[in-house]
Structure 1
Amino acid sequence: MSESSRALDAVQAERWLSAPRYRRYLAVANGDHALAMETYSWNSRVAAAGIVDVGHLEIAVRNAYDRELSLRFPDWSVDERSSLFRLEQGVQRARARQRRRNQVSLSRVADAKRGLSSAPTHAEVVAALTFGFWANLTVAERTPTLWNPMLHRAFPRGTARARVHDLVARVVKFRNRLAHNEPVFSTRTGLEDRLTEVQELFELIDPDACAYVAGTSTLDAAIASCPIPGLTSATGLR
């Protein structure tokens, strides 16, 4: 083994990972340092495979939402005359909440444009928008302005806005945990539950793409290689 790939001792591992994170892995490994580090490496592989699959889902969500929004508001992300994020409806209090949401959306569109060319295309801006941007479009106060007239059409008839929003919000939170290589095991994260939510949302938004991604995913194989039996169940260790 080369010097660059030698094993770390406990002190080195704790300095690298931080004491709380290292001790989390040491706890599930029953104090076995080598097993703790093996589990950390496994977690990294699962997170990497998971972020790929969730990334595919994110693309499906943003493109489905954009299709529906663009039917009424073409090039809404680059058209300065677009009234998409000026839509308000209802009593004064409801309009005020919608107005605040619209300001958040406009701010995130502006953020997405930074780093792009001076005249970005609509497709470029849409691709640069964060998953959180799309999640913000299905909050309750936007039911009359975005969901009812447009976004519900991205889903099968009868799909409830609240269920969609809950799924998207949960998947966004899960994606962020994966991106930061947080532990995928615990009763708080419930890996099995989170993956079920990813699949449910994917099947709702684009069942064909969902089936394709399932056939190419490496996530199940990564999970199956867990060095500690039972660690990935929804009722696993904290």
Structure 2
Amino acid sequence: MKFKDFSRYFSNARVNRYSIATGNSNSKAIKLYKANLKIAQSFHPLLGILEVILRNGINDVLTLHFSDPNWIVNQKSGFMSDPSLTLIDKRTGQKKTNDFLKREVNKAEQRLRKTGTTITSGKIIAEQTLGFWTDLFEAHHYKLLKGKPIQIFSNIPKGYGRKDINNALTKIRRFRNRINHNEPICFAGNSINFTLTIEIYDSIIDVLSWIDPQLVILVKDLDKVKKTIKAAMKI
């Protein structure tokens, strides 16, 4: 494909950054753009596995904690509506309620209704995003849940805790959002740089190992991230 057509299809503003990073080489700019997509693609198996394991593990823990397999529905009027989640904004003097979890459950129910799908707790759980599960490690919800979510991390290193898990999951979630929106993950400024991308990869492996080191072994044959990054660095 001619470079002018490539730029037109993917927008001059977006492609220009790839051109600058490759010394205004049209062929290398296209190669880097495609390499960025390949790296993003290589993350999807790891992200998918992490999200499923996190979701299932937390669901098991909270089902036991509440003695209720339908906790995700019934707790809309429980800890998700706790008075401690409503605070007075010091700047505006207005009440501010953190009802993120409840809103996400309501949204899932609405999506299921629109498709004529029978609403079950299992389907609502499957609808939840990584952001929902990550938010359970925010201090306010974590306290209301008496710290139960951390139980899935049976191999977390000594000295690590809620904050470390929350920080790692938040970074991973933001990165996942970037690749889902086709944002570049191969730059630092206008230079080719994979430092942040490698840091996110390391965080994913860390989180999996904190749950169970066997998970790292399980994903080994699916893990093409570093190999794909190495190929991109040769451009």
- Which residue of 93, 102, 105 corresponds with 1:106? 102
Distance 1:202-1:81 versus aligned 2 partners, 3 A rule: closer
Judge conservation of contact 2:76–2:102 (CA < 8 Å) in 1. no
Contact 1:152/1:159 (8 A) holds in 2: no
Q: Is the 8 A contact 2:85 2:140 kept in 1?
A: no
Query: Hey, what does 1:33 align to over in structure 2?
Result: 26
- Rounded to whole Å, the distance in 1 between the matches of 2:167 and 2:75 is 31
Alignment deviations for residues 143-191 of structure 1 (CA, whole Å, 9 cap, x no partner): 4212x34112122365411111100100000111111222221237711
- Of 165-174 and 195-204, deviating more is 195-204
**Structure 1 range deviating more: 195-204 or 74-83:** 74-83
Alignment check: 8 A CA contact 2:134 2:169 kept: yes
Matched, 1:153 2:151: yes
- Say which SS state the counterpart of residue 16 (structure 2) adopts: helix
User: Which residue number corresponds to residue 72 of structure 1?
Assistant: 65
Partner of 2:36: 43
Change (3 A) 1:38 1:191: same
Change (3 A) 1:104 1:90: closer
Rounded Cα–Cα distance in structure 1 between residues aligned with 2:139 and 2:76: 26
Indicate how the Cα distance of structure 1 residues 91 and 28 shifts in structure 2: closer, same or farther if over 3 A, else same: closer
Residue of structure 1 in register with 2:52 after alignment: 59
Residue 70 to residue 87, structure 1, CA distance change in 2 (3 Å)? farther
Q: Does 1:217 align with 2:223?
A: yes
Q: CA RMSD in A?
A: 2.7
In terms of mean alpha carbon deviation, does 122-131 or 70-79 score higher? Answer: 70-79
The question of whether the paired residues in 1 share the 8 Å contact of 2:86 and 2:97 is answered with no
> SS of the residue aligned with 1:119?
coil
> What's the % identity of the aligned pairs?
23
CA contact (8 A) 1:51 1:178 kept: no
Equivalent residue number for residue 93 of structure 2: none
Supply the distance in 2 between the matched residues of 1:52 and 1:144 (Cα, whole angstroms).
32
Q: Which has the higher strand share?
A: 2
Range with bigger deviation, 68-77 or 169-178: 68-77
Once residues 90 and 84 of structure 1 are traced to their aligned partners in structure 2, the CA distance between those partners, rounded to angstroms, is 9
Q: What secondary structure sits across from 1:115 in the alignment?
A: helix
Quick one: which amino acid aligns to residue 129 of structure 1?
A: Q
Q: What are the ranges of 5 or more consecutive residues in structure 2 without an aligned counterpart?
A: 89-95, 190-194
Aligned to 1:167: 168
Deviations 1:11-65 (A, max 9, x none): 2222222222101111121111011101111111111121221111111111111
User: Deviations for 1:84-118, whole angstroms, at most 9, x for unmatched residues?
Assistant: 4234569977xxxxx833x2111101112233245
Question: TM-score if structure 2 supplies the norm length?
Answer: 0.80
CA distance in 1, matches of 2:179, 2:14: 15
Contact 1:60–1:206 (Cα < 8 Å) also in 2: no
Alignment gaps of 5+ in structure 1: 1-6, 94-98, 232-238
Match of 1:182 in 2: 183
Q: TM-score, normalised by structure 1?
A: 0.79
Aligned partner of 1:133: which letter?
F
Tell me, yes or no, if the aligned pair for 1:139 and 1:165 is still in contact at 8 Å: yes
Give the Cα separation in 2 of the matches to 1:38 and 1:110.
43
